Amino acid sequence: MTDAAALPAELRRSRIRERLDQRGYIRAADIARDFSVSSVTARADLDALVDAGAARRVHGGAVSASAAPEAPVEQTSQSGAESKAAIGRRAASLVDAGQSVFLDVGSTALAVAEALVDRTELHDVVVVTNGLATALALEPALPRLSVYVTGGALRPLQHSLVNPMGQQLIETVHADVAILGCNGVDVGAGVTNVNLPEAEIKRAMVAASDRVVITADASKLGRVTMGHVAGLSQVDTIVTDASADPVLVADLRAAGAAVLLA
């Protein structure tokens, strides 16, 4: 792509920064497309924002310098613990005996895992997870539940397994339901996740499932982050907590999403 018709660099970077401040993230590919510049120029624009202290580079793009960094799951589990436990119980109630389940990573996934363990009437449930902490949380329910870990490269903070080799097991099996956490649920942008490698695994789980359940506490509604996971049309159910903004809940329902309050 030629940069001949592009805006002057100073003006273009000002507009990129405005978008970054509004959304919290931006992809290099989006800059190249929306501003009609090459991928090399798009990356240079991001580097200029980093040098100016306005952004932090992440894989594929940048996040606002003011955005909170990804927190370890041990920390996020302590934040809103009661709401997450309620969401976990409600999501776990959607699983029937004999079903196969994809379950991912994060504090809400841990809450779902703990709720599945507490459902002592459940049997012959197969859980496939890319989360080491999730798998360990499910261990007390063995052998009522069978637990398979995907394999892949280990990421810190969430103790997640991602590509390379993170999708191979997922692509060879099929699940009745995927119960997935996220960092944002928005009417327009759908389900998004702040971490791109984990978003990639979530997309694979969505593609290999009959039904998709998204768990998102009230703070995630109306929020958009960098990694696309699924459009709302791909989601069967959203489970959130009772403190969710009723306007945002109504907007999601109007867009066709089934929203359950825990």
* Residue ranges, CATH 3.40.50.1360, the chain: 73-261
**Which amino acid, one-letter code, is at 48?**
A
Q: At what angle do helices 107-118 and 81-92 cross, to 10 degrees?
A: 50
CATH number given to 73-261: 3.40.50.1360
- Residue found under tokens 């497309």: 33
pLDDT at 20: 82
For the domain made up of 9-64, the CATH class stated in words is mainly alpha
- In degrees, rounded to 5, the angle at the alpha carbon of residue 96 between the alpha carbons of residues 120 and 254 is 125
Phi/psi for 146 (5° steps) reads: -100, 135
Nearest of 140, 134, 145 to residue 111 by alpha carbon: 134
Q: Which two tokens stand for residue 219?
A: 């703070």
pLDDT tens, the chain, 262 aa long: 445 456 889 999 999 998 887 777 788 888 999 999 999 999 999 999 999 988 888 777 887 776 656 665 656 666 668 999 999 999 999 999 999 999 999 999 999 999 999 999 999 999 999 999 999 999 999 999 999 999 999 988 778 999 999 999 999 999 999 999 999 999 988 999 988 899 999 999 999 999 999 999 999 999 888 789 999 999 999 999 999 999 999 999 999 999 999 9
Contacts of 113 (CB under 8 A, 6+ apart): 88, 103, 127, 129, 134, 137, 138
Q: How far apart are CA 92 and CA 78, in angstroms?
A: 20
pLDDT at 204: 98
Task: List helix spans (H) across the chain.
Answer: 9-23, 28-34, 39-51, 73-76, 81-92, 107-118, 132-138, 196-207, 246-254
Global pTM reads 0.79
* Residue ranges, CATH 1.10.10.10, the chain: 9-64
